[in-house]
Amino acid sequence: MRTFEEYQKDLHAMKPNIFIGNEKVGRDDSRITPGMMILKETFDKAQDPKYEDLCTATSHLTGKKINRFTHIHQTQDDLFKKQRMTRVLCHRVGGCIQRCMGIDALNAVSIVTYECDEALGTTYHQNFLEYMKMFQERDLAASCASTDAKGDRSKRPSEQENPDAYLRVIETREDGIIVRGAKQCITNTPYVDEIIALPCRMLFPDDHDYAVSFAIPADWDGVKLLARPAYYHKPKGLPEGLLPKTMDMGDVETFIIFDDVFIPKERVFLNGHADKRVVPYGGFLALLFAHYHRHSYTGCKPAVSEILASAAALVAEYNGIENAMHAKEKISHLIGTAELVFAAGESSALHSEKSPSGTMIPDEILTNAGRRLAGENIYDEYKIVADLAGGLVATLPYLETFYNEEVGELAFKYLQRNPRVSPENVLKCFKGLEGMICSEIGGLMQIAGLHGGGSPQMETIAMMGRYDMKSLKNIAKYLFGIKSSLGRIERSETPTTPRQMLEKFRKALIAQQKRDAK
């Protein structure tokens, strides 16, 4: 396993292909470093004996000890520990841990490539296995390039006026493929080793060029990273220990352009350009990645709710209102949401199933129910913190002002609130809150809380597509006298296996072909 220092050294050696505004920069740019400080926790804690049970695993491929962020889940316990690890590490960085996307994608690839090879005689799973051994051995971090530019949202990929609105294969060669397109809203790409690309939606027969998945280094020829850093602007020359720890952390969102990029054959996991039969597997892969990523959200979003609850409780104390019933009610809402979302993820792991590839798949309904609850509550949670804090979080003078020779002492005097709390701690609290809820990164985290892993509407679609509505309505029919008898109905009696999920995609393709024929 790598140390943080080794990870950072490897990144600094990569070719510059990051564009921030009008500048082309390398990974040593100071605006990239705050994102690296998030991933630092994933390397440091894997080396720490106190966190070993959560942050390391045993590879099912090599039998070696590996970072859990490079593991393909083989048991229910793997899913439990991944969820718990995510929650614990998110506490330490003040929000998203940012390394889950890559391994969520690779867990999905592990299933889909196996299913595709079994059905069609392809060799994608062998490519995946060899890649995975290297990924684990080098303890790599990856970005999942899923969300396409999409163009006209009312049209499928093959119907777009701009054929590059979705990432596609434009040429298949003996040694690999050439791809063209873009991916948007992608977190962490400038400070990871690899990019895992996969489709973002169901695909139909005419969309075969878009059924593509592969992995490449993040500085690969033809890859251009258009970056939007969000970080805390740290003042200089202040007393040691004054700045909130979260000021070391940051995020970079990325618009990835694949400008006629060559992908070696051994790094290709799906290619519908060469074989139209793989089209259903493209949509299947998109679904499974979203599913794994939403399960990861049942670890990180409870942590975010707890972080907000912690901040709300602290500022209520500092404002002298911690015993007010309205404050307790608001904080209990934050705690309740955290525990319910986490419980949904735990139950999802408990009801997981082993796919034919050996990879464990969390329960689809429970995962989506937890993620939707988190997304629907995110703005209410920030509202609660803002309500208990008051407007000062948005209007507080700069930190430097409080250490100005002329006005600093007066500023501290009038910042005093609860007489049992020092003005210096009040300042730290409100500056921490300012960064958390009304800075540029605070705004980003609110949007991410709603849309990351799929907006609540996408979770609704997933749940309603999975739930047995006919059996559900039979309960009311029996109770209302419309149906004379009622068998024992339990949701667990009708599990959806990976192959049944894939069959759902195939049926959808056939139905669409019939509609198109009419």
Residue 518 has pLDDT above 90, yes or no: no
- Say if residues 367 and 467 touch (Cβ distance below 8 Å): no
Region 115-131: mean pLDDT is 96
* pLDDT reported for residue 225: 98
Lowest mean pLDDT among 137-146, 287-296, 492-501: 492-501
Lowest mean pLDDT among 186-190, 324-328, 389-393, 447-451: 447-451
The residue count of the chain comes to 518
Region 232-240: mean pLDDT is 73
293-463: what CATH class? mainly alpha
Lowest mean pLDDT among 56-65, 265-274, 300-309: 300-309
* pLDDT reported for residue 319: 94
Region 205-218: mean pLDDT is 97
* pLDDT reported for residue 299: 93
* pLDDT reported for residue 506: 65
pLDDT in tens, 138-168: 999 999 999 999 999 999 999 999 999 999 9
* pLDDT reported for residue 248: 82
Residue 501 has pLDDT above 80, yes or no: no
* pLDDT reported for residue 439: 78
* pLDDT reported for residue 149: 95
Question: Is the model more confident about 503 or about 365?
Answer: 365
Residue 449 has pLDDT above 80, yes or no: no
Instruction: Look at residue 276 and give its three-state secondary structure.
Output: helix
Q: Which residues are registered as beta bridge partners of 144?
A: 196
Cα dihedral value 504, 508, 511, 513, nearest 10: -130
* pTM recorded for the entire structure: 0.91
* pLDDT reported for residue 517: 65
* pLDDT reported for residue 509: 63
Q: Where in the chain is the domain with CATH 1.20.140.10?
A: 293-463
Residue 492 has pLDDT above 60, yes or no: no
% of the chain surpassing 90 pLDDT = 73
Question: Is the model more confident about 467 or about 292?
Answer: 292
End-to-end alpha carbon distance in the chain: 57
* pLDDT reported for residue 493: 44
- The rounded mean pLDDT for the chain is 91
* pLDDT reported for residue 29: 96
Q: Where in the chain is the domain with CATH 2.40.110.10?
A: 4-290
User: Long-range pairs for 310-314 at CB < 8 Å and ≥24 separation?
Assistant: 311/385, 311/389, 311/432, 311/433, 311/436, 312/384, 312/385, 312/388, 312/389, 314/429
* pLDDT reported for residue 290: 92
pLDDT category, 440, cuts 50, 70, 90? confident
Residue 515 has pLDDT above 80, yes or no: no
CA-closest candidate to residue 188, choices 338, 312, 42: 42
Phi-psi map region of 464: left, alpha, beta (phi>0 left; psi -120 to 50 alpha): alpha
CA-closest candidate to residue 102, choices 183, 188, 25, 210: 188
Please name the CATH architecture into which domain 4-290 falls.
Beta Barrel (2.40)
* pLDDT reported for residue 495: 46
pLDDT category, 34, cuts 50, 70, 90? very high
Region 83-94: mean pLDDT is 94
Lowest mean pLDDT among 12-16, 80-84, 470-474: 470-474
* pLDDT reported for residue 516: 65
Round to whole Å and give the CA distance between 125 and 137.
Answer: 18
Helix H or strand E segment including 184:
strand 176-187
